[in-house]
Amino acid sequence: MKWKSLLIFTILAIGLILVSVPPTKAGSLQTQEYQITTSDLYETNPTLGNDDVSDLVVYTAKELLPDGSLAQGDIWYQRLDNTGAPIDPAVQVTSSDRDDRFSDISGDYIVYTSYDSPSSKTGKIMVYQISTDEHHEVRTHEYLREARIEGRLVVWLEGDRFSAQVMMYDIAWLGSTFEPILIAGPDPSNYDVEIGERFVVWAEFVWSEMYNQWHHDIVAYDLESLIRIEVATDQGLNEILPETNGPWIVWFANEVGTYKTWIKAKNMDTGEVRVIAEPVSEYEGFFYPSIDGDLIAYEYMTWELDPTIEPIMSDIYMYRLSNGEIFQVTNDPYFEYFCDIFDQRVAYVSDRYGNEDVFVSTFEFIYEGDISVSPSNYDFGDVELGTASTTIVTITNVGEDSLTISDVVFSSESNPDFSISYAPNLPAIISQGSTIDIEITYTPSDFGASSAILEIASDDNDEPMVIVSFSGTGVEYEPPPSEQISNILEFIDQSVEAGTLEGDGPGASGKGRLNALRNMIETAGNLIDEGRIDEACRQLWNVYRRTDGNPRPPDFVTGEAASELASQILALLDSLGWSEP
């Protein structure tokens, strides 16, 4: 781990990525890990690709010398099957006494830097064609580093650290007299070159007038328009180690003079700048982003107490640009680092067996339905006996996959006055973003409060059972005044026909008084319909006094039903808010 400790100290000199533990995710990640290398050599810098035959992982292998240093490197590649598992023996691309490293792959080609020795910066940029097993020299220079390839284009840095140039070469020129193209440099000096299908990106070392010190900016070269574009130029930040894929460019951003650091990404089509990781604690850090399509993979480290000492843990995480979700790829007490993402795989190095071995994890996003129920509780309020009230419970799938509702029932302790008056056939499958409705009816059978619990069962792993609480109160039915008037008139007619009510008066006046009483009630009804409630109440009060059994004023009716008639008139007056004068 000595070489890795030195690497960490180098990065710390330019700043730490200080961010919090990734947030809870809406989806989950299913991974299958495969160990690619098992030798005693130290295998590092894995890069994934596909040559139209299969997926491959390319890496550098070095021997650890007795003094703790590493010998010269060789380039290897390993073919993978459709699950990511290694197939066939690994292929050794180089086997000379030179130091071959900084490998990258694109299609049928592997590019690497071949140094004269492990301590030399003089060397050659080499291209190896997998299908023909041929090596081609692209460039020889006294100072070379960081060869990268995309399609037919190879880029690298050429020159010492204070005058490094960004160079580009089309491998279609192999065998011709065409020379590499100078893209940038030597003033200012350049670092960390990478290439995607649309951009070449790198970091420029420039002077900050605002802070009176040197810092790094991110710059891109548009391969379509052939122009230089400034990507990130904050004078207060060291912006370094860019990667690019499609319209996106991702990089580190370190606040000058501090450990405060971010991972940022910019969409060059829309201008959107996204904070992938933001500073929270000085005891954690993120390194080496790799981007492919919608995904950014990176290395997450934690320190126990002091960020200037070697970390205690390192794992690989992924960030999804489309929805901001973060997923953990590895989770063990060992160190995983130097990640590269391609298609549905992540390659990385792990020290779990005492030296650096290459691993590949094939991953799949697992999304599930996510239930949301509204309302979560509902009060029907006062409901008159003999009547019913309904409401709708809406079940929504807010997840990213289908949701199955398996059962909807009231709990055993629920009042039977609550019922499900409509529900779809179960089980019911709700697609992403869709809803179903459940109609609930409350029909009180007795006076007073009652309650019920509706239980909704689904395949939502987080909430397999959701409950909705219901309440309501049964109250006596009180017909409106106009209905009471009709009921009273009907009661009079039925009672007269039954012989339990008749007019009271001497001679033929009894029949006249009965008709007069009925007319008085009808008049009160008309007054109620016109909104003349006070006049109607006075009229009804006179009717009541003619039925109450008191001698003064004399009653207009007599018989067994007379007292019930008086009670009905008094109840109507009460419902109208009348008080006895």
Per-residue pLDDT band at 305 (split at 50, 70, 90): low
Distance of CA 180 to the CA centre of its chain: 45
What is the tens place of the pLDDT at every residue in 493-525?
A: 999 999 999 988 887 788 888 898 999 999 999
Domains present along the chain, CATH in parentheses:
2-366 (2.130.10.10), 371-475 (2.60.40.10), 481-575 (no CATH)
Looking at residue 48, its pLDDT comes to 98
What is the tens place of the pLDDT at every residue in 97-114?
A: 899 998 999 999 999 999
Looking at residue 308, its pLDDT comes to 58
Q: What is the mean pLDDT of residues 268-274?
A: 96
Whether the upstream peptide bond of residue 506 has omega within 30° of 0, thus cis, is: no
**428 pLDDT more than 80:** yes
What is the distance between the alpha carbons of residues 310 and 350, in angstroms, rounded to a whole number? 16
More confident residue, 283 or 139: 139
Q: What is the mean pLDDT of residues 327-338?
A: 89
Q: 392, 378 in Cβ contact below 8 A? A: no
Looking at residue 311, its pLDDT comes to 59
More confident residue, 347 or 460: 347
Mean pLDDT over each residue of the chain, to the nearest integer: 89
Percent of the residues in the chain that have a pLDDT greater than 70, as a whole number: 92
What is the tens place of the pLDDT at every residue in 17-26?
A: 333 333 333 5
Q: What is the mean pLDDT of residues 30-53?
A: 94
What is the distance between the alpha carbons of residues 46 and 291, in angstroms, rounded to a whole number? 14
Per-residue pLDDT band at 310 (split at 50, 70, 90): low
Q: 230, 243 in Cβ contact below 8 A? A: no
Per-residue pLDDT band at 237 (split at 50, 70, 90): confident
More confident residue, 404 or 258: 404
Q: Which of 384-388, 468-472, 558-562 has the highest mean pLDDT?
A: 468-472
Q: Strand, coil or helix: what is 449?
A: strand
- In 3D space, the residue among 257, 254, 256, 252 whose CA is nearest the CA of residue 241 turns out to be 252
What is the tens place of the pLDDT at every residue in 196-219?
A: 999 999 999 988 777 788 889 999
Q: What is the mean pLDDT of residues 423-448?
A: 95
Q: 231, 220 in Cβ contact below 8 A? A: yes
Q: What is the mean pLDDT of residues 270-298?
A: 87
**190 pLDDT more than 50:** yes
* Residues forming beta bridges with residue 474, ordered by sequence position: 383, 448
**64 pLDDT more than 70:** yes
Q: What is the mean pLDDT of residues 295-317?
A: 76
How far apart, in Å, do the first and last CA atoms of the chain sit? 103
**139 pLDDT more than 60:** yes
pTM of the model: 0.68
Looking at residue 477, its pLDDT comes to 79
Q: What is the mean pLDDT of residues 377-388?
A: 94
What is the distance between the alpha carbons of residues 299 and 336, in angstroms, rounded to a whole number? 7
